[in-house]
Each structure stands twice: as structure tokens, then as C-alpha cells.
């Protein structure tokens, strides 16, 4: 991911999402430890701006951490816990007053999902908050021919290249092949089947946003995954993304608390 500066919401936190989190964390003691799953620069800036000082980053890729640090508005001390979440979270029992997560589920193979959310619950203090954003796929995937026709009529720019990445790679019926996003496979299929010059230009632009050689575990229906999602926590609220989002109807913001 060498061009993260080109990635736009909903693939990164939006103002709407950050405002939801800000509202939820306002009662947390500012001396408490809080954590971020990964290196999300918007979350790091938010927690620091809200007055937290014990901010932990759970990140396995220190090169990516450095790249995300360059995109921040603030510079402040942070605690970095390096390693795979499935390895590091069991060592952090009852540690955090809040854990923030942005589209992390796609990094976790389906067979480990229930364990992942169980470990998140275990890493929270009693009453601790978990704020998450999930691409849920509760509705049918979008037919690829429809999307090809759609983007054949849209202007080639950064906004619509991000929308193309979201809809074609993460929401189309390409997901029916293996119930995962395999970016190399998907680009190969697109290049073999798309002849429209404008859409082919979108394909090349999208590679800067969603590179070749990546796999995410997205595509399985939410009905098949929901039972293993945060079942140890109490749901405080949830909402869809804003109506202009390419993930509208599929993306959910969730807030949970540990009993």
C-alpha cells in the first residue's frame, strides 16, 4: 500500500465515523489506555486531540506504521505492540478502555473471526468500548456488467477511481468466485473482459488505490458471519454509511461495550 494518500472514505474513516466515535468516547477517563487495531492515522489524531495520552497501536507491519505516521496532523508519543492481532490480543486481557477498528474484519480469515472478536472483548476493561466499521454484504453483490456500464459514463478522477475500487473489487459479483477479494485475480479478469477505454483507465487508476497481490476476506454473506460477531459484547448502536457512499447498504458502524 504505497499510495495511501490516494485512498478516500469509505475505505478510510470519514468525518461521520469520527464524530460517532468522538461522541462515544467522551466519558472515558483520559488517563486510561486506549488502542487502535492497526495504524489508522485518523484514529491516532482523534484520540490525541481528545486528550488521551496512553494510546496503543496494535500493528504487525512497522513499515506501514511509518507510512501512516507521515499522514498524521499531530506528532505524539504512542505505544506500539508489534505482531499479529491473534497473537498479541491474548496478552492484553482487560487492558483497554476503548478499542477502535476500521475495516479490520477483512484481514481475518473467516475461520478465525469468532476468536478474533472474542479476543477483542477480552482485551477491554469492564465497561470498555469497541468501535468498529464493517463491510457486511447483507444484500446481493452488484453485477459486473452493470458496473462496467456505469463507469463508462463517469469522469476519470480520484473520487470515482475510489468508488470504482469499492464497487468493482469489494461489492461486485466477482466476490462469488471464492468469497474473497483477490486483487490480482480480479484485475486479470477485468483486463481480459473489459474493452471500453474509459473503464480500462479506471482499472489502472484503481491499482494505485487497491494494489495487485492483495487478499481480503470479504464477500461472504453477513447472515453467515453475524453469529460470530462480537457476541461477548453489548451493542450500543449501529448505523449505515452516508447515502453518497459506494458502500451504502453494505457498510455498518457499530459501537459495543463490555458488560
Buried/exposed 176-204: b ≥16 CB within 10 Å, e otherwise: eeeebbbbeebbeebeeebeeeebeebbe
**Contact criterion met (CB below 8 Å) for 15 and 78:** no
Please write the tens of the pLDDT for every residue from 82-122.
999 999 999 999 999 999 999 999 999 999 999 999 999 99
Q: Are 144 and 171 in contact (CB under 8 A)?
A: no
All cell numbers assigned to 34: 486506549
- Degrees to nearest 5, angle at CA 254 with 252 and 259: 160
pTM of the prediction?
0.96
- C-alpha–C-alpha distance, residues 1 and 149, integer Å: 28
CA nearest 71: which of 33, 47, 43? Answer: 43
What 3-state DSSP class applies to 12? Answer: coil
What pLDDT, on a 0 to 100 scale, did the predictor assign at position 3? 87
**To which residue does cell 475505505 refer?**
11
**Measured between alpha carbons, how far apart are the two ends of the chain, in Å?**
37
pLDDT of residue 2: 75
Please report, rounded to a whole number, the percentage of residues in the chain having pLDDT higher than 70: 100
**φ, ψ at 253 (rounded to 5°):** -95, 130
Question: For residue 61, what is its C-alpha cell?
Answer: 507491519
Give the integer Cα–Cα distance in Å for 107 and 90. Answer: 18
Predicted confidence (pLDDT) at residue 1 exceeds the cutoff of 90: no
Amino acid at each position: 500500500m504505497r499510495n495511501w494518500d490516494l485512498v478516500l472514505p469509505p475505505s478510510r474513516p470519514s468525518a461521520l465515523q469520527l464524530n460517532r466515535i468522538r461522541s462515544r468516547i467522551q466519558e472515558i477517563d483520559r488517563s486510561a489506555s486506549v488502542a487502535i487495531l492497526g495504524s489508522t492515522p485518523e484514529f491516532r489524531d482523534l484520540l490525541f486531540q481528545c486528550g488521551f495520552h496512553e494510546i496503543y497501536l496494535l500493528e504487525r507491519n512497522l513499515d506501514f506504521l511509518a507510512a501512516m505516521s507521515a499522514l498524521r496532523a499531530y506528532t505524539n508519543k504512542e505505544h506500539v505492540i508489534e505482531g499479529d492481532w491473534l497473537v498479541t490480543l491474548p496478552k492484553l486481557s482487560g487492558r483497554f478502555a476503548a478499542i477502535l477498528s476500521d475495516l479490520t474484519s477483512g484481514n481475518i480469515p473467516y475461520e478465525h473471526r469468532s476468536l478474533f472478536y472474542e479476543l477483542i472483548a477480552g482485551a477491554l476493561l469492564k465497561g470498555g468500548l469497541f468501535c468498529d466499521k464493517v463491510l457486511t454484504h447483507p444484500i446481493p453483490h452488484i453485477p459486473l456488467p452493470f458496473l462496467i456500464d456505469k463507469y463508462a459514463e463517469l469522469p476519470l478522477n480520484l473520487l470515482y477511481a475510489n468508488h470504482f475500487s469499492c464497487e468493482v473489487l469489494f461489492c461486485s459479483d466477482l466476490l462469488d468466485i471464492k468469497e474473497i477479494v483477490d486483487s490480482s485475480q480480479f484485475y486479470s479478469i477485468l483486463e481480459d473482459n473489459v474493452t471500453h477505454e474509459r473503464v480500462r483507465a479506471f482499472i489502472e487508476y484503481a491499482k494505485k488505490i487497491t494494489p495487485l497481490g492483495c487478499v481480503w476476506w470479504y464477500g461472504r454473506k453477513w447472515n453467515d458471519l453475524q453469529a460470530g460477531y462480537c457476541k461477548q459484547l453489548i451493542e450500543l448502536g449501529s448505523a449505515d454509511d452516508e447515502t453518497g457512499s459506494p458502500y451504502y447498504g453494505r457498510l455498518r458502524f457499530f459501537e459495543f461495550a463490555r458488560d
